[in-house]
Structure 1
Amino acid sequence: MCGITGWIDWEEDVTRQSAVIEAMAATLRYRGPDAKGIWLSPRAAFAHRRLMVIDPAGGAQPMVYTSGSRTYAITYNGEIYNFRELRSELESRGHTFGTKSDTEVILHAYVEWGEEFTRHLNGIFAFGLWDEQRQRLLLARDHLGVKPLFYAQRGSAVIFGSELKALFAHPRVQPEIDRDGIADIFGAGVIHTPGFGYFHDVHEVRPGYQLVFERERTRASQYWSLRSAPHPDDLETTAQRIRALLKDTVKRQLIADVPVVSMLSGGLDSSGLTALAASEFRSEGKQLNTYSIDFVDSAAYFTGNDMRPSLDGPWVTRVSEHAMTRHHTVTVDTPELLENLLVPLYAHDVPTMGQIETSLYLIFKAMKEQATVALSGESADEVFGGYPWYYYDEVLTTNTFPWLTMFGRNGSMRSLPSLLSNDVMRQANPQEYIARRYQEALAEVPRLEGEDAEAAKRREIMYMGLTRWLPILLDRKDRMSMAVGFEVRVPFCDYRLVDYVWNIPWQMKTIDNIEKGILRRAFQDTLPDDARMRRKSAYPSTQHPSYIKGVCDWALQIINDPNAAVRPYINVDTYRAFADKNNPVLSQDFAIGPLERLIQLETWLKEYHIKFI
């Protein structure tokens, strides 16, 4: 993985602006700690920070390919899992290669197939590609949006980068927030809007899209989307097809020239992938290393609920022994969580989640000591329908994002709107904003003609999870892993699997009267039955009183500071009552979230010099 950034300008000679492009690249140094490079032409400046994973010697970037009088350049972040097959096909069409890298394959694919080339790619990627002869910039992002890519158009210029901070290093892009930004950051924060870049006139390349920028026009095209159709296969054929797809995907995603490990929570998703990966390792005479997160005194303070009915530890041991992995538990304590609470802010450049991101950062930091790449079970719940909210009766009748039904059941979440000041509520109107974003998402759902009302509603619910919830988790995983120069691969995001599972009927997805029943069937010969049938348990969080106290103390310092930057945007009295260490709500899973976000908001307003317009 890597950090990429670039500046295209049809009026200014950017060869004279190496200092600016260097500054943009420097903001991404932790994404690519192994090497750096820039490439300059009169109209285009590309920069790259590299994390070496494939072809360390030959994969340097930005990469330039010249064919006759034509020159092409690319700065690229990601992995193309079918690059070997593509390379063979391109060689049969007369192409010759100077490296063993997937980066070079992308360049040659563009030369061979033009703008249709993204349809040939299977992987996780974000890149900028410059066609010198046509004076054309192409930005593209992978099917599910695993890798990030932001851009802004300013006059004659297009400025892009892996993260927002790279854009802010350019003098033409300022951290300005408009009404929608206020509504999202201060009031919503629980939905992801594809294409929305939080800041005024800053955008995100949507998953499955490519953008073409030319002097006179900009074109957007969608190279991949979900297509609804009747599911053709019976139960056994479906389970076999899923198993075959996952085996192939895991095998592809183990390709690397650096050590690869696996995350293992003891849940169905990571356990199934771990077992498949461990089998591949054993076939090569190797043992897979696995990692899990735990918290000091987690058993003493654990309280089960819908999202987390059981502790992970015993199940991690069960699956590790079954798959014969060498397991490592990373145990995190309160001081580490508090010391790193602002890491997610600096990684996202906007306030986000608290310890659920901080602990992920800490486990990746530990994993980085032994490896560079890991497999993760992220996205199986969105692809197969694994969260508790998919099973609430009210989701079939409520016209909003389905996970908000869970927040509505949680006392701490119900109080969120009252935490904002009257001015923010009036100006941003978070409820209206959420309703508008929901209607936008609803209009995109690919319908299936003849589907009954419940099946159609289920399709809507699944679409919301894949396009408005999953990106939050993918962003979290990307930023926390890349913050330590670590690559995480997500086999359940293989678009072939997503395409196939999308049209499996709900009754088949939940076969055996359990969430992700069809996935459990697919893992029937892969996992022991007790682990395979373990109920869904969400990513863990600490419920330790010392962490709650630490966050409350920090938040109260801000709340009680008359000069706090966040003060005009919050309901001070309500926040003060909420931050009371004796508030019983705070012992609930994730209930501390509003206070963690408050702490990040205060730092964000001060250090990012936010301007409201």
Structure 2
Amino acid sequence: MCGITGWVSWTKSLSEQSPVLENMTNTITHRGPDSIGTWLSESAALGHRRLIVIDPEGGKQPMVYYEGPYAITLSYNGEIYNFKELREDLIHNGHHFKSSSDTEVLLHAYLEWGEACIERLNGIYAFAVWDERIEQLMLGRDHLGVKPLYFANRDNDIIFGSELKAMFAHPQVDPVIDKDGLSEIFGLGPIRTPGQGVFKDIEEVRAGHYVTFRKEGRKEEQYWTLKSHPHPDDLDTTVSTIRSYLEDTVTAQLVADRPVVSMLSGGLDSSGLTAIAGKDFSKEGKKLATYSIDFENNEKDFEKDFLRVDLDEPWAEKVSKHVGTEHKSIVLDADELAENLLVPMRARDLPGVGEIETSLYLLFKEMEKEATVALSGESADEVFSGYPWFHQDEFLEADIFPWLLNMRGMSSILSEQLKEKLDLPSYQKERYQEALDEVPVLEGESDLQAKQRRMSYMFITRFLPFMLDRKDRASMMTGFEVRVPFCDYRLVEYLWNVPIEMKNIDGIEKGILRRAFEGYLPEDVRYRKKSAYPSTKDQKYLERVSQWMLQILDDPTSPILPFIDVEKVRSITEGKSESIHASSAKGLLDYLIQVNAWLKEYDIKVIL
């Protein structure tokens, strides 16, 4: 994986702007610690940081192809899993290649098919192509939004980057936030609106979209979307199709010139992928390495709750033994989590989900010592409708995003002045209605089926991008690549139309996936109930963040103070609140600490 950034201008010369471009590119060194590349012309400046995974010599970027005097230049982040098939097609059409990299295949795909090349890609990617022939910049992003990409228009100059920090290194882009941005931060939390860059006049290329810019203006196209139609296959065919997709995509995603490992929680999703990958490894006489995460005193402190039914570690060890992997459990303590709380915020340039995100970062930091690429079970719950919310009336009947029902504590601690200026309930309902209007309806469904389809759409298009972004930023902060086989768009669009009754065959969530993994996993592992990503129960962590929050409240210069009800937050922090305590308090304090640091470190100007 890599980081990309750049700047295009139709009105000024950029050929002497190397210092600005290098500053932008160096802000994302963590995404590509292996090398830096820059390319400048009269109208365009493209930067690239590279993490070498495939073809160390042949995949250098930005990559340039000349057609006569005109340069077509690519800066690309990601992996194209079907690049070998595309390469064969392109060779058949007369193209010649100097390397074995997927980068060169993408560039030649653009040369052959233009903007339509993006419709032929299967992978995780974000890329920029500057085409001097027509003086056009194209920004493209993968189907589900695994790889990030932002842009801003400043005086008809287009500035873009994998991360917001790359854009803030440009003299024309300042970190300014207005009412909409604050509504995202305090009204939606970390699960934000697709396309919303949060900062004023900064946008995100939406998943499944590309944007082109010329002197005359911009054009945005959606090249992929979910389409509803009756599911044509019977149960056995559906199971075998799912199994076939997963075997195919896991094999494709094991391709790398650097070590590949697998995340293994002992849950259904990561266990099944590990079993498929382990089988592929054994065919080549190799042994797959797997990693899980645990917390100090977790066995002593663990308490069963709505999302976590049992401990992961015994299950991870069982699957490792069954598949034959070399397994490591990374054990974290409360001090490590507290000391690194702000690292994920700095990785995404926005407040996130606290210690759950911090633990991911620390896990990847350990994994990166022995590998460069990992497989992850991310997104299975979204595309297989595996969350409990799909089956509970409270969430199915809600007129806002279902996860916001669990965030009511946030609105209760905001200052009255902020509440009056933002009108967060209206903002939440407007964003929900936007998503609702996008849902591709299927005629003839029952009322319950229609509600479950809407719920599925919310999770795939709103919740999943947050989960993917969380994993991308936490991994890339350590120069480590994570691949997500369940995000193969072919699998996602196939599952979109599988009836939820079939998905939950055998009376259990993701029952059809459990059937697809038959023969790969022990029976008790296949039918283990879902347990969410682990979270520390160590009281010491809550004590650490509580002390931190009290310091913020006692410091009159803390930038968050005008936005919160200080006495309510103090009550929660001191454990005196009757409505918010324990794990809810921990999550809230994590978030507020990040917001305060974000406002301060990024020197954000707030316009209300």
- Normalization by structure 1: what TM-score? 0.97
Q: Which residue of 2 aligns with 1:215?
A: 215
Q: Which residue of 2 aligns with 1:163?
A: 163
Instruction: Give yes or no for contact 2:294–2:332 (8 Å, CA) kept in 1.
Output: yes
> Which amino acid in structure 2 is aligned with residue 574 of structure 1?
K
Instruction: Give yes or no for contact 1:377–1:490 (8 Å, CA) kept in 2.
Output: yes
Which residue among 408, 422, 430 is the counterpart of 1:414?
A: 408
Structure 1 585/2 Cα, relative in aligned 2: closer, same or farther at 3 Å? farther
> Which amino acid in structure 2 is aligned with residue 456 of structure 1?
A
Write out per-residue CA displacement over residues 389-409 of structure 1, whole angstroms, 9 at most, x where no aligned residue: 12212223222212234x1xx
> Which amino acid in structure 2 is aligned with residue 19 of structure 1?
P
Higher mean alpha-carbon deviation, 452-461 vs 313-322, is at: 452-461
Q: Map of 1:114-513 to 2, 5 A cutoff?
A: 114-405=114-405, 407=406, 413-513=407-507
Q: Deviation at 1:388?
A: 1.7
Q: Distance in 2 between matches of 1:28 and 1:371?
A: 20
Q: Deviation at 1:69?
A: 4.2
> Which amino acid in structure 2 is aligned with residue 136 of structure 1?
Q
Write out per-residue CA displacement over residues 459-480 of structure 1, whole angstroms, 9 at most, x where no aligned residue: 1000000011011111100000
Q: Distance in 2 between matches of 1:233 and 1:506?
A: 14
Q: Deviation at 1:590?
A: 5.4
Q: Deviation at 1:606?
A: 1.4
Q: Which residue of 1 aligns with 2:39?
A: 39
Q: Deviation at 1:334?
A: 1.1
Write out per-residue CA displacement over residues 384-431 of structure 1, whole angstroms, 9 at most, x where no aligned residue: 0111212212223222212234x1xxxxx4332111101111111222
Q: Deviation at 1:585?
A: 7.4
Q: Secondary structure at the match of 2:15?
A: helix
Q: Deviation at 1:73?
A: 0.3
Q: Deviation at 1:75?
A: 0.5
Instruction: Give yes or no for contact 2:271–2:521 (8 Å, CA) kept in 1.
Output: yes
Q: Distance in 1 between matches of 2:552 and 2:248?
A: 51
> Which amino acid in structure 1 is aligned with residue 8 of structure 2?
I
Write out per-residue CA displacement over residues 526-555 of structure 1, whole angstroms, 9 at most, x where no aligned residue: 111100101111100101011010010000
Q: Distance in 2 between matches of 1:573 and 1:73?
A: 55
Q: Distance in 2 between matches of 1:141 and 1:80?
A: 12
Q: Deviation at 1:37?
A: 0.7
Q: Deviation at 1:565?
A: 1.4
Q: Secondary structure at the match of 1:472?
A: helix
Structure 1 573/486 Cα, relative in aligned 2: closer, same or farther at 3 Å? same
Instruction: Give yes or no for contact 1:390–1:402 (8 Å, CA) kept in 2.
Output: no
Instruction: Give yes or no for contact 1:97–1:104 (8 Å, CA) kept in 2.
Output: yes
Q: Which residue of 1 aligns with 2:555?
A: 561
Instruction: Give yes or no for contact 2:337–2:359 (8 Å, CA) kept in 1.
Output: yes
List gaps (5 residues or longer) in structure 1: 408-412
Q: Deviation at 1:447?
A: 1.1
Instruction: Give yes or no for contact 2:179–2:422 (8 Å, CA) kept in 1.
Output: yes
Q: Map of 1:51-130 to 2, 5 A cutoff?
A: 51-130=51-130
Structure 1 171/576 Cα, relative in aligned 2: closer, same or farther at 3 Å? same
Instruction: Give yes or no for contact 1:543–1:588 (8 Å, CA) kept in 2.
Output: no
Q: Which residue of 2 aligns with 1:6?
A: 6
Instruction: Give yes or no for contact 2:62–2:74 (8 Å, CA) kept in 1.
Output: yes
Q: Distance in 2 between matches of 1:4 and 1:445?
A: 32
Higher mean alpha-carbon deviation, 319-328 vs 445-454, is at: 445-454
Q: Distance in 1 between matches of 2:39 and 2:198?
A: 29
Q: Which residue of 2 aligns with 1:550?
A: 544
> Which amino acid in structure 2 is aligned with residue 524 of structure 1?
E
Which residue among 571, 576, 580 is the counterpart of 1:577?
A: 571
Instruction: Give yes or no for contact 2:263–2:292 (8 Å, CA) kept in 1.
Output: yes
Write out per-residue CA displacement over residues 315-345 of structure 1, whole angstroms, 9 at most, x where no aligned residue: 0011111111000000001111111011011
Which residue among 530, 535, 545 is the counterpart of 1:536?
A: 530
Write out per-residue CA displacement over residues 225-247 of structure 1, whole angstroms, 9 at most, x where no aligned residue: 10101000011110100000000
Q: Deviation at 1:448?
A: 1.2
Q: Distance in 1 between matches of 2:390 and 2:572?
A: 29
Higher mean alpha-carbon deviation, 66-75 vs 240-249, is at: 66-75
Q: Distance in 2 between matches of 1:79 and 1:588?
A: 41
Higher mean alpha-carbon deviation, 110-119 vs 493-502, is at: 110-119
Write out per-residue CA displacement over residues 272-318 of structure 1, whole angstroms, 9 at most, x where no aligned residue: 00000000000000000000000000011111111001110110011
Instruction: Give yes or no for contact 2:573–2:585 (8 Å, CA) kept in 1.
Output: no
Q: Deviation at 1:582?
A: 6.5
Q: Distance in 2 between matches of 1:387 and 1:560?
A: 40
Q: Distance in 2 between matches of 1:588 and 1:314?
A: 26
List gaps (5 residues or longer) in structure 2: none
RMSD over aligned CA atoms reads 1.2
Q: Distance in 1 between matches of 2:66 and 2:300?
A: 63
Q: Distance in 1 between matches of 2:102 and 2:280?
A: 22
> Which amino acid in structure 2 is aligned with residue 461 of structure 1?
M
> Which amino acid in structure 1 is aligned with residue 359 of structure 2?
S
Q: Which residue of 2 aligns with 1:50?
A: 50
Q: Distance in 2 between matches of 1:169 and 1:100?
A: 33
Q: Distance in 2 between matches of 1:269 and 1:255?
A: 20
Q: Distance in 1 between matches of 2:218 and 2:598?
A: 32
Q: Deviation at 1:600?
A: 1.1
Q: Distance in 1 between matches of 2:575 and 2:392?
A: 31
> Which amino acid in structure 1 is aligned with residue 252 of structure 2?
R
2:578 is aligned with 1:598: no
Q: Deviation at 1:374?
A: 0.1
Instruction: Give yes or no for contact 2:186–2:410 (8 Å, CA) kept in 1.
Output: no
Q: Distance in 2 between matches of 1:399 and 1:567?
A: 31
Write out per-residue CA displacement over residues 462-520 of structure 1, whole angstroms, 9 at most, x where no aligned residue: 00000110111111000000000000000000000001000000110111111111111
Residues paired across the two proteins, number: 607
Write out per-residue CA displacement over residues 139-196 of structure 1, whole angstroms, 9 at most, x where no aligned residue: 0000000000000011120000000001101111111111110111123215321100
Q: Distance in 2 between matches of 1:263 and 1:564?
A: 39
Q: Which residue of 2 aligns with 1:410?
A: none
Q: Distance in 2 between matches of 1:425 and 1:561?
A: 23
Instruction: Give yes or no for contact 2:573–2:589 (8 Å, CA) kept in 1.
Output: yes
Q: Deviation at 1:6?
A: 0.5
Q: Distance in 1 between matches of 2:166 and 2:25?
A: 7
> Which amino acid in structure 2 is aligned with residue 510 of structure 1?
N
Q: Distance in 1 between matches of 2:580 and 2:286?
A: 45
Which residue among 597, 602, 607 is the counterpart of 1:608?
A: 602
Structure 1 587/396 Cα, relative in aligned 2: closer, same or farther at 3 Å? closer
> Which amino acid in structure 1 is aligned with residue 321 of structure 2?
E
> Which amino acid in structure 1 is aligned with residue 354 of structure 2?
G
Q: Distance in 1 between matches of 2:401 and 2:521?
A: 33
> Which amino acid in structure 2 is aligned with residue 600 of structure 1?
Q
Instruction: Give yes or no for contact 2:190–2:353 (8 Å, CA) kept in 1.
Output: no
Structure 1 223/307 Cα, relative in aligned 2: closer, same or farther at 3 Å? same
Q: Which residue of 2 aligns with 1:522?
A: 516
Q: Distance in 1 between matches of 2:281 and 2:292?
A: 19
Structure 1 262/590 Cα, relative in aligned 2: closer, same or farther at 3 Å? farther
Q: Distance in 2 between matches of 1:281 and 1:583?
A: 53
